[in-house]
Copies of this chain bind each other. A is one copy, B any other.
Amino acid sequence: MTNAMDRLYGQVADKGHVCLGLDTDYTYLPEDFAQDFSSKGEAVLAFNKAIVDQTLDVAAVYKVQIAYYEAMGLEGLGAYSETLKYLRKKGALVIADVKRGDIAKTAEMYAQAHFAGDFEADIITVNPYMGMDTITPFFPYLEKGKGIFALVATSNPGAMDIEGITHGGKKVYEMVGEMLQKLGERFMGRCGYSAIGGVVGCTDPQATIGIRRALDKTFFLIPGYGAQGGTAQDMGRYLRDGNGGVVNSSRGVLLAYRKDAFRGMRFDGAARAECIRMRDDIHSALKGE
């Protein structure tokens, strides 16, 4: 079976490890660009499209964080929908970062919402706190080639409040990771990864190595690069033979045009330059190890 992670694996092999996060806040747009549009939604959409056009060959996948669009209300969700459609039309893989998680019938509704219709994405993020029966309603879509990334160990300061609680020497996130990998066994792809991936943030090297070893069939979505303090070396420990994970950067790319290094470039050119810099940074770290 070819699953969603096989497609992602192929993209990584071709283009490197960059997951470009379109967490686009209206305030991120250059003023002289934004002023040409009659609504915030239109401006955000145009900003996204310009960045996508400049990065299709250097970003393995795009992650669109729905919260930024929800915050703009119905108009924002229109821009969200159009961003997803544009990406898919261009042949890009799309992760909808929605972190939904709910019981049976409600989870079915979320699956329908984000794997079909106005908000269709290839892969979505989910929150497993309520248990594994919040994951199973996505199965019919995994069978049809969609994928999910479930939260395992996140990179925020409070991540260990719950994820780090221990039982019998194991942390909650380790147990969650193992439950998810077990669920994923029936959705294994050609490349050795199941359609159920995991979100794993930057943590100490020892923990990272442990996560990678235990979750050997789990593709990783890795936040925390750059702005959140993670280095390319940190990220490299989550990969296997140079694949099996993508590294997200959102503000680092969207706001690259404000950095001294890219002075004088338009925002979309700067985004491309930052994607290339990040891609090469990760490649170098992998070669160095």
CB within 8 Å of B: which residues of A? 23, 25, 65, 67-68, 70-74, 77-78, 81, 99-107, 109-110, 112-114, 117-119, 127-134, 151, 154-163, 165-167, 172, 175-176, 179
The answer to whether B74 touches A113 (Cβ under 8 A) is no
The answer to whether B74 touches A156 (Cβ under 8 A) is no
The answer to whether A129 touches B151 (Cβ under 8 A) is yes
Query: Nearest Cβ distance between residue A81 and chain B, in whole angstroms?
Result: 6
Each complex incorporates copies of this chain amounting to 2
Majority-rule SS of A interface residues: helix
Query: Nearest Cβ distance between residue A128 and chain B, in whole angstroms?
Result: 7
Query: Nearest Cβ distance between residue A53 and chain B, in whole angstroms?
Result: 24
The residue from B72, B109, B167 contacting A67, defined by CB atoms under 8 A apart: B109
The answer to whether A179 touches B167 (Cβ under 8 A) is no
The residue from B71, B107, B156 contacting A109, defined by CB atoms under 8 A apart: B71
Chain B residues within an 8 Å CB radius of A74: 74, 77-78, 81, 118
The residue from B68, B109, B156, B166 contacting A130, defined by CB atoms under 8 A apart: B156
Query: Nearest Cβ distance between residue A142 and chain B, in whole angstroms?
Result: 17
Q: Which 10 A-B pairs have the closest CB atoms?
A: A131-B158, A73-B118, A133-B158, A129-B129, A70-B113, A131-B161, A67-B109, A103-B156, A71-B109, A71-B112
In the bound complex, CA of A173 to CA of B253 (Å): 38
In the bound complex, CA of A99 to CA of B162 (Å): 17
Assuming A128-B129, A151-B129, is B70 touching A104 (CB within 8 A)? no
